[in-house]
Amino acid sequence: MSDPVLKVRNLSVFYATPTGDVRATEEASFDLHPGETLGLVGESGSGKTTATSGILRMVSSPGRIVSGSVELDGVDLLKLSDEEMRRMRWTKLALIPQGAMNSLNPTMKISAQISDVIETHTGQPATRERVLELFQMVGLPERIYGMYPHELSGGMKQRVCIAMAIALNPSVIIADEATSALDVVVQRVVAQTMAKVRDALGVSMIMIGHDMGLMAQMVDRVAVMYAGRIVEIATVADMFARPAHPYSQILIDSVPSLTERQPLRITGGITHDPRNPPEGCIFQLRCPYAQEVCRQPQEMREIRPGQEVACIRAEELEREDA
Ligand SMILES: Nc1ncnc2c1ncn2[C@@H]1O[C@H](COP(=O)(O)OP(=O)(O)OP(=O)(O)O)[C@@H](O)[C@H]1O
């Protein structure tokens, strides 16, 4: 396999609170290969957004990156100066943030906002031709060129955000639940646009989401997070056919069917205080199979080529869903 475009190793990001650090992302490690899409899933509060903020070095106070490395094309982003990092954003690494469409500037025309991104990083404003080319790639009509965000539908605004993300041909795009604020039909169309653009440009993507059904159709591999820890990484096929971690099994069971899209609906939530995780397995307090042995630290380990899991009992508990 080709060298990864992005190599994340032991990334930990904590938030300081008066009663101790919230360990929002701890020891996260994964690779992203050229042209690959990796899905990052887990229920609310599992640390998905925090992990990607760490990758982009956009963690704001009271958060801080505690440790780790984030290599993009062989360069450790965590070692760059702020100015060097600023130059990486949009050109190498672009973000479509949560609620992206609400982050558009209401007082600026769509064309000017896209042009602005390009000008800030290249020193040259975008030509009308280039903006229209981007519109075409994401399926936006030419007539919105001179319009303001409030004149556009939610789906269109989301496409504008995709256009901005690809404007400078980044190697990696991180899409943070980019579609969750939209209704189901619009979600599907926007997701298809994202996939089309990704395939046309050969860009690598990290997609954060709750919707396992949508993930199944959009991503190559899935990383499952629980309470700040990645507990399993596998191809979509393996994750759905033989999820190895008990938490992944619960996640998969929460999907009614792969064609019927639904957000993750898991009762219970994260049960421990994120400032004080249990010793050993992060999932032990909710795990139906927890035993004494689960109080030992659980490292990610490969149980078959391409499937890594942080569960000492994985082989014993494995099941075939196929
Ligand atoms: N500013 C903050 N101060 C303290 N704790 C925080 C702060 N921001 C996030 N957290 C905590 O960090 C943990 C991870 O949050 P994060 O938003 O990364 O999760 P998430 O998986 O992206 O959730 P969602 O799906 O709801 O976006 C949670 O326990 C959250 O309460």
Confidence bin at 83 (pLDDT 50/70/90): very high
Q: Is residue 294 part of a domain?
A: yes
Measured from the Cα of 228, ligand 1's closest atom is: 14
Q: Is residue 210 part of a domain?
A: no
Looking at the DSSP bridge assignments, the partners of residue 232 are 224, 309
Q: How far is the centre of ligand 1, averaged over its atoms, from the C-alpha of 202 (Å)? A: 31
Distance CA 226, CA 269 (A): 10
DSSP structure string for 234-278: EEHHHHHH---SHHHHHHHHT-S-SSS------SS---S-TTSPP
In short, whether 49's Cβ falls inside 6 Å of ligand 1 is yes
Q: Is residue 66 part of a domain?
A: yes
With 70 as the cut, is the pLDDT of residue 182 above it?
no
Kindly report the backbone phi and psi dihedral angles of residue 313, in degrees, each rounded to the nearest multiple of 5, phi listed first.
-100, 15
Q: Is residue 274 part of a domain?
A: yes
Distance CA 66, CA 44 (A): 22
Q: How far is the centre of ligand 1, averaged over its atoms, from the C-alpha of 8 (Å)? A: 19
Quote the pLDDT of residue 322: 44
In short, whether 45's Cβ falls inside 6 Å of ligand 1 is yes
Distance CA 77, CA 59 (A): 13
With 90 as the cut, is the pLDDT of residue 84 above it?
yes
Q: How far is the centre of ligand 1, averaged over its atoms, from the C-alpha of 316 (Å)? A: 33
Confidence bin at 191 (pLDDT 50/70/90): confident
Q: Is residue 114 part of a domain?
A: no
Contact 276, 221 (CB under 8 A): no
In short, whether 52's Cβ falls inside 6 Å of ligand 1 is no
Quote the pLDDT of residue 176: 86
Question: Which of 14, 25, 26, 44 has most ligand 1 atoms within 8 Å of its beta carbon, as the pocket-test mutant?
Answer: 44
With 60 as the cut, is the pLDDT of residue 321 above it?
no
Q: Is residue 259 part of a domain?
A: yes
Q: What is the mean pLDDT of residues 205-226?
A: 89
Each residue's pLDDT tens digit, 59-72: 999 999 999 999 99
Distances (CA, A) of 34 to 198, 220, 302: 11, 12, 21
Of 303, 159, 126, 142, nearest to 231 by C-alpha is: 303
Lowest mean pLDDT among 48-52, 87-91, 251-255, 310-314: 251-255
With 0-12 CB in 10 A as exposed, 13-18 as middle and 19+ as buried, what is 35?
Answer: middle
Domains of the chain: total: 1
Lowest mean pLDDT among 38-42, 84-88, 113-117, 316-320: 316-320
CATH number of 25's domain: 3.40.50.300
Which residue has its alpha carbon closest to ligand 1 atom 13?
Answer: 24
Q: Is residue 286 part of a domain?
A: yes
What is the CB neighbour count within 10 angstroms for residue 131? 23
Domain that holds residue 278: 6-87+223-237+246-317
Quote the pLDDT of residue 214: 79
Q: Is residue 187 part of a domain?
A: no
Kindly report the backbone phi and psi dihedral angles of residue 127, in degrees, each rounded to the nearest multiple of 5, phi listed first.
-75, 155
Percent of the residues in the chain that have a pLDDT greater than 70, as a whole number: 93
Q: What is the mean pLDDT of residues 92-107?
A: 86
